[in-house]
Amino acid sequence: MTILSGKARLAGVLGWPASHSRSPRLHGYWLRQHDIDGTYIPLEVSPEDFPTAVRALLRMGFKGANVTIPHKEAAFAACDEVAPSAVRAGAVNTLVFREGRVLGSNTDGFGFLESVREQAPGWRADAGPAILLGAGGAARAIAAALLDAGCPRLTIVNRSIGRAETLAREIGGAVEVASKPDLAQAALLVNSTSLGMVGQPPLEIDLTPLPPHAVVADAVYVPLETPLLAAARRRGLRAVDGLGMLLHQARPGFEAWFGISPEVDAALREFVAGDLPRAA
């Protein structure tokens, strides 16, 4: 049992609800691993109470917090200062409280890139065109990260063309919009929708046109092996699950709050995924 001192560092995750978040399990693992005098707790805060709650945590001595659904856009407005990553993503998922100020950043794009690099060694964003399925919050962070890392061309595919066009216009750069993915030249295919998640319809897509060197990534991690990833592996393609993005996006916040740069390894992955379904 962890016993905290009066100097314990405090952080948590703000959500509505917060009970679904795996962040307490993830950060709790690192806290125990490094024997840190600190804790990370789920904080259920309604949308109408969110701005007040952020300032209350700051005054209570918290070091910061993660932000999850539905607060990421509200968190942007609650910050005194936002990092370029948050401006590009249009949302904040990590708050750091420092010298009476609320600093916001978005680590989702960082987490995505690090996850692909880990699970598909040798992959580079500038290796070729990428196709991004979806135009929601996760898509925006992933799109910005890919373009900033050198992706030569990004195609956004979404059921609502208007929403995809808005995202493309706001992100800027080498971005185009399509109603159907043209996979023949793609070096990377990313699913940022909820399709394939437990309780959701599967993602219906034929991966046959993808080149043999292509990487297929899924932001979904419940189940760990989505039908999309299973189809990619059957074709001999490199597949990247969504759990890695979750694990890696947590690293910058943990370092800012608790003063140690944590590692993502097999033991952490197994612990966080301990009760997740392995396949659909």
Question: Could you give the residue numbers annotated as active site?
Answer: 72
d(CA 220, CA 192): 7
The answer to whether the beta carbons of residues 65 and 39 sit under 8 Å apart is: no
Rg of the chain on CA atoms, in Å? 19
The answer to whether the beta carbons of residues 266 and 241 sit under 8 Å apart is: no
Question: Helix, strand, coil shares of the chain as percentages rounded to 5?
Answer: 40, 20, 40
CB atoms within 10 A of CB 180: 8
DSSP state of 127: G
Tell me the CB-side half-sphere exposure of residue 53, using CA atoms within 13 A: 23
Q: What angle do CA 167, 111, 65 make, to 5 degrees?
A: 95
The answer to whether the beta carbons of residues 166 and 192 sit under 8 Å apart is: no
Tokens 């401006």 belong to: 87
d(CA 89, CA 155): 17
Which residues does 160 contact at the CB level (< 8 Å), separation at least 6?
A: 135
